[in-house]
Amino acid sequence: MAPLYRLLAYNNTKINWTTECEAIRQNIISTLTSSPVLMLFNPEFAIELHTDASSEGYGGIFFQKVDFKLHPVEYYSKRTTPAESRYHTYELETLAVVNSVKHFRHYLYGRTFTVVTDCNSLKASRTKVDLTPRVHRWWAFLQAFDFDIQYREGRRMAHVDFFSRNHIPETNNLATPCSVSSKENNVVEKRVNIAELSSDWLQAE
């Protein structure tokens, strides 16, 4: 997805839509409409929050367990700031938990859930007193939630590792006009406003 991210970098107003970009777009559409598709949140089912982090970003996947199988409810990812990218690995993994919990807090308040991470020291740090002020603040926030921490080795966390390295770029204006030009595709220049997208277009059959 990196080629698509680069199109949005530096507030570019002109986008060169190549065959590579179109192939990535089609792959995204196929992935989003293929199994496993998202399920609606159901407070009756157990909750698992899988998190991971890298110097590039961090992410989380909100799962619910139905008939002993995990089903995704929502995905979250965010790019690290220049300061965050220099954090120790343990701090990045803790930050991934904190920001994922913040993002999904409307599901998590008042409910028991499990955080699954490949950071083995995260569970031990929960009761430590000699933490940095920054990590202390993070754990003070997490104390408002009722959760257990489960360690899982990194090779079994590839699903959420993807989101820590393929963050979703943030934008303040979802309806920014842009022009599209391509020599490889017959793409007609058009100004797009996301608010104009119909509900039918957004629904996966």
Average pLDDT of span 133-156: 88
Number of residues in the chain: 205
- Is the pLDDT higher at 88 or at 195? 88
Q: Is the pLDDT of residue 122 over 70?
A: yes
Average pLDDT of span 160-186: 46
Q: Is the pLDDT of residue 97 over 50?
A: yes
pLDDT > 70 fraction of the chain, expressed in percent and rounded: 71
Pick the range with the lowest mean pLDDT from 51-55, 139-143, 192-196: 192-196
Domains of the chain: 2-34+171-202 (no CATH), 46-165 (3.30.420.10)
Q: Is the pLDDT of residue 41 over 90?
A: yes
Secondary structure string (H, E, C) spanning 163-179? HHHCCCCCCCCCCCCCE
Q: Is the pLDDT of residue 106 over 70?
A: yes
**H or E element, residue 122:** helix 122-125
> What pLDDT score does 80 carry?
87
Distances (CA, A) of 153 to 89, 133, 141, 147, 150: 15, 28, 26, 19, 10
- What is the side-by-side order of every strand in the sheet holding 146-151? 69-79, 57-66, 46-53, 112-117, 146-151
Q: Sorting pLDDT into bands at 50, 70 and 90, what band is 89?
A: confident
> What pLDDT score does 86 carry?
93
189, 78 in Cβ contact below 8 A?
Answer: no
Q: Is the pLDDT of residue 110 over 70?
A: yes
Task: Name the average pLDDT for the chain.
Answer: 77
Per-residue pLDDT tens digits for 66-82: 999 999 999 898 888 89
